[in-house]
């Protein structure tokens, strides 16, 4: 797993927006904007004050470096940068609670001296005092504010700043802290302060002030005799806003020194590697400010919403798992790492067991990530590791593994055509196409035989379910058997209907040549039977079609040759996400599967044409008008909704019926008589059948439980309901049933399953008796 964890070092999730990087205070712009946009003005003010210390002064004087880096400033995206300063001024006016927060923490017996009561010195003093350090300020003049007085004396005052404004601001922000300011106190020697017990000294004497020799060194900070010395602000040539930011940053550096004894450069990072997803870059112009340079109150929300929230969030935009869980990749990695860490299960948390099993393995995460972080492969490897450790929740994949065994067992059919010993081609429809729509397979194979008389039939599963379950040993067995069957057919080129099967065969059986069914059809001149009308449709490309440009082109050519009017899907056209079938996530988290389906079907109001049977079934089940490309080719598509879809029980019956039909019609053979799967006369109403289907319960399983209860007498009479209740473990799953007996027939009232194994001990004539016969 380590190789997957290492990729996260390149994650740029925490890279800040361009405006925040250019801001001397590193204001958390996204947080500020979101609070302002929803009308939380006092909360937005708090975010702003926490960054800049003196909001009224900064909002008046800030030269707005953020504007020069704002994407909205580009003509293509609006031509007007976000009016961040205008929003800040509006928030200061609208906020009802501006009182600073008093932190009731013990005072620290660590002394700091600050020389200069200008804006830089006061900013540094306030930050340290709020952390309860013992701070004193020494000012040579008789007033605080430094060069702010010069700015205020200009006519007109810059930004409308007046002495009343900045003095009131100092009083407001400093009122909770005890900061002695010694006016008319000129410091002549830093050693004098050091001898008085000050452990850190900040020289902020302003432009042209005494630097006490600190600017003579390579960096304006150093340690001497266990005292840290710093110089900054206007003394080092910075403007007013930069000077204040310098003081704030130096306060942080002083605190680090006092805590660790280490001296670090004040944080002045002005770069970012953030990347903005192109889908966010729509055109939006700004609104005019009022005469005071503020965003008008009625325009605050609109201006805030114009902000792109520049951050690397492609994963949240496109990856269903990240969007659903609201967990960023770095947190996902931490949870997976905690789950996979060696140790006794009873003694450590395993927060990501379900998370690991809800990845659809569409591969979209790596495709859209600027750092190409591959969550897909990490989750798949985690499933493999959990399986090896015997910690994989078996119930998440049990149904699908049994379904695969059925497809490769009773329902399997691997044959060359009559009279053909070796096939040049063989049709591989996959295991789900015939389960959902047997006619698709039968009609397609008949047409293929008309074009290629040696066309064999390879009716099995490709092995993907066991791959998704993480069982490498069983997957290897499935792949080996697949290869053997292929060799017995004469090593044909496979004509594959399912894009996921194409991926699995290409990855694990590279010596098998394959071609998409739909490319084969187009090349052989098939004429679609269905004709489009005036309705506009959209092609829904399944996730496994990514990178298969020839396949996607063939699908569009076939649809257009049938006169269908096509409109590309805005997202799926270029970023093919899963329909919810991938990874078999619907058992691990049904609500998540519904979330995925809803995202797909709401992308467009157009009906869909797809070429994955699982996509078609998922969308039809949710009421989305959807047809399969084989409906277009052979006609009679199902487009009316979920009522036409087979249940999990009917899907098995469909496979057997398909095999029986093909053996009779193509080979003239009768299928061996099959034992009835339901051995009792069982009645299940349609609503209950739908419930069984949603919960992945086969009707034959509940019939087996009822038959067992009747045979053994292990049942409970529910007299008030006139029903019987009982259970039985079938395979690894325990099934409970409630039923009525009407003569020789039975009526199912309810059924459910769970993973718990119920152990009973019965004794008969002094001997233990098996309770599950």
- pLDDT tier, 768 (very low <50, low <70, confident <90, very high otherwise): low
pLDDT of residue 267: 67
Would you say residue 761 has pLDDT above 70?
no
Structure tokens given for 729? 């473990």
For residue 434, the tally of other CB atoms under 10 A from its CB is 30
Find all residues with CB under 8 Å of 272, minimum gap 6, and list them. Answer: 15, 16, 17, 18, 20, 21
Q: What angle do CA 713, 715, 695 make, to 5 degrees?
A: 125
Helix and strand numbers, DSSP H then E, in the chain: 34, 22
Tell me the three state secondary structure of residue 136: strand
pLDDT mean over 323-336: 95
pLDDT of residue 674: 83
Find all residues with CB under 8 Å of 456, minimum gap 6, and list them. Answer: 414, 415, 416, 417, 420, 423, 425, 426, 427, 489, 490, 492
CA–centroid distance for 666 within its chain:
48
pLDDT of residue 762: 53
CA gap 222, 616 in Å, rounded: 69
CA gap 428, 507 in Å, rounded: 16
Q: Would you say 726 and 709 are in contact if contact means Cβ atoms under 8 Å apart?
A: yes
Q: Is 578 exposed, middle or buried (0-12, 13-18, 19+ CB in 10 A)?
A: buried
pLDDT of residue 385: 95
Sheet architecture: strand order including 608-610: 565-566, 536-540, 608-610, 626-628
DSSP-derived secondary structure letter, 112: E
Residue labelled with tokens 């926490």? 50
- pLDDT tier, 667 (very low <50, low <70, confident <90, very high otherwise): very high
Would you say residue 764 has pLDDT above 80?
no
CA gap 238, 233 in Å, rounded: 6
Q: Would you say 150 and 208 are in contact if contact means Cβ atoms under 8 Å apart?
A: no
Structure tokens given for 305? 């919403």
For residue 43, the tally of other CB atoms under 10 A from its CB is 18
CA gap 517, 139 in Å, rounded: 84
pLDDT of residue 773: 47
pLDDT in tens, 230-241: 999 999 999 999
Q: Which residue, among 750, 674, 673, has the nearest Cα to 718 in the 3D structure?
A: 750
pLDDT mean over 514-538: 95
- pLDDT tier, 664 (very low <50, low <70, confident <90, very high otherwise): very high
- pLDDT tier, 343 (very low <50, low <70, confident <90, very high otherwise): low
CA gap 391, 354 in Å, rounded: 12
Mean pLDDT of the chain: 93
CA gap 43, 404 in Å, rounded: 55
CA gap 319, 521 in Å, rounded: 33
Q: Would you say 399 and 590 are in contact if contact means Cβ atoms under 8 Å apart?
A: no
Would you say residue 202 has pLDDT above 60?
yes
DSSP per position, 449-462: HHH-TT-EEEES--
CA dihedral 711, 716, 718, 722 (to 10 degrees): 10
Q: Which residue, among 565, 569, 590, has the nearest Cα to 580 in the 3D structure?
A: 590
Residue labelled with tokens 């540094």? 124
- pLDDT tier, 218 (very low <50, low <70, confident <90, very high otherwise): confident
pLDDT in tens, 34-81: 999 999 999 999 999 999 999 999 999 999 999 999 999 999 898 999
- pLDDT tier, 638 (very low <50, low <70, confident <90, very high otherwise): low
């Amino acid at each position: 797993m380590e190789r997957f964890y290492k990729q996260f070092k390149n994650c740029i999730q925490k890279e800040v927006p361009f405006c925040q990087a250019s801001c001397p205070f590193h204001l958390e712009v996204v947080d500020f904007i979101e609070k302002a946009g929803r009308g939380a003005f006092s909360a937005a003010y708090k975010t702003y004050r926490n960054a800049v210390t003196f909001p009224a002064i900064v909002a008046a004087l800030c030269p707005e470096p953020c504007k020069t880096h704002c994407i909205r400033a580009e003509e293509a995206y609006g031509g007007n940068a976000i009016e961040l300063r205008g929003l800040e001024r509006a928030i200061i006016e609208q906020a009802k609670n501006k009182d600073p927060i008093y932190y009731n923490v013990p005072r620290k017996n660590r002394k700091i001296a600050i020389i200069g009561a200008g804006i830089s010195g006061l900013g540094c003093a306030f930050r340290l005092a709020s952390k309860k350090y013992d701070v004193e300020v020494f000012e040579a003049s008789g007033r605080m504010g430094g060069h702010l007085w010069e700015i205020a004396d200009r006519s007109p005052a810059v930004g409308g700043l007046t002495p009343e404004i900045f003095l009131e601001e100092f009083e407001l922000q400093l009122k909770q802290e005890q900061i002695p300011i010694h006016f008319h106190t000129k410091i002549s020697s830093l050693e004098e302060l050091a001898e008085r017990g000050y452990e850190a000294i900040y020289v902020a004497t302003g432009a042209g002030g005494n630097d006490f020799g600190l600017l003579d060194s390579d960096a304006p900070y150093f340690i001497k005799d266990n005292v840290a010395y710093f110089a900054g602000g206007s003394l080092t040539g910075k403007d007013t806003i930069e000077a204040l930011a310098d003081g704030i940053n130096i306060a942080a550096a002083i605190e680090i020194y006092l805590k660790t004894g280490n001296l670090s450069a004040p944080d002045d990072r002005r770069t970012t590697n953030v990347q903005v997803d192109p889908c966010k870059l729509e055109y939006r112009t700004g609104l005019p400010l009022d005469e005071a340079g503020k965003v008008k109150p009625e325009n605050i929300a609109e201006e805030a919403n114009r902000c792109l929230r520049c951050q690397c969030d492609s994963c949240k935009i496109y990856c269903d798992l990240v969007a659903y869980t609201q967990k960023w990749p770095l947190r996902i990695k931490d949870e997976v790492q905690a789950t996979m860490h060696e140790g006794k299960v009873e003694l450590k948390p395993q927060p990501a067991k379900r998370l690991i099993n809800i990845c659809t393995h569409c591969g979209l995460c790596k495709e859209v990530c600027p750092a190409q972080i591959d969550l897909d492969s990490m989750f798949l490897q985690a499933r493999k590791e959990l399986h090896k450790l015997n910690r994989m929740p078996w119930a998440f994949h049990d149904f699908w593994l049994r379904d695969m065994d059925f497809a490769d067992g009773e329902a399997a059919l691997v044959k060359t055509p009559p009279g053909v010993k070796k096939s040049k081609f063989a049709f591989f429809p996959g295991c789900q196409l015939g389960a959902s729509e047997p006619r698709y397979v039968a009609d397609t194979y008949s047409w293929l035989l008309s074009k290629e008389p040696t066309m064999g039939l390879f009716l099995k599963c490709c092995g993907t379910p066991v791959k998704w379950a993480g069982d490498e040993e069983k997957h290897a067995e499935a792949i080996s058997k697949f290869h053997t069957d292929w060799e017995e057919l004469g090593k044909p080129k496979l004509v594959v209907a399912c894009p996921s099967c194409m991926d699995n065969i290409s990855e694990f059986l590279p010596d098998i040549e394959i071609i998409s069914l739909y490319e084969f059809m187009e090349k052989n001149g098939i004429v679609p039977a269905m004709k489009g009308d005036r309705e506009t449709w959209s092609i829904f490309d399944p996730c496994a079609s990514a990178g298969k440009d020839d396949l996607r082109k063939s699908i569009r050519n076939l649809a257009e040759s049938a006169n269908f009017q096509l409109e590309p899907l805005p997202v799926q056209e270029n970023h093919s996400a899963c329909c919810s079938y991938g990874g078999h996530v619907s058992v691990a988290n049904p609500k998540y599967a519904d979330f995925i389906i809803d995202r797909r079907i709401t992308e467009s109001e157009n009906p869909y044409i797809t070429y994955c049977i699982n996509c078609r079934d998922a969308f039809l089940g949710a009421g989305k008008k959807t047809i399969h490309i084989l409906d277009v080719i052979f006609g009679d598509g199902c487009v009316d909704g979920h009522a036409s879809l087979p249940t999990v029980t009917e899907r098995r019956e469909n496979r057997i019926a398909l095999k029986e039909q093909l053996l009779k019609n193509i080979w003239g053979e009768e299928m061996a008589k099959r034992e009835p799967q339901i051995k009792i006369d069982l009645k299940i109403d349609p609503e209950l059948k739908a419930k069984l289907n949603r919960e992945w319960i086969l009707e034959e399983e509940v019939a087996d439980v009822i038959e067992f209860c009747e045979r053994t007498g292990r049942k409970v009479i529910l007299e008030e309901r006139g029903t019987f209740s009982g259970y039985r473990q079938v395979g690894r799953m325990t099934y409970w049933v409630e039923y009525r007996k009407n003569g020789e027939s039975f009526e199912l009232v309810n059924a459910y399953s769970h993973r718990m194994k119920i152990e009973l001990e019965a004794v008969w004539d002094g001997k233990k008796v098996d309770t599950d016969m």
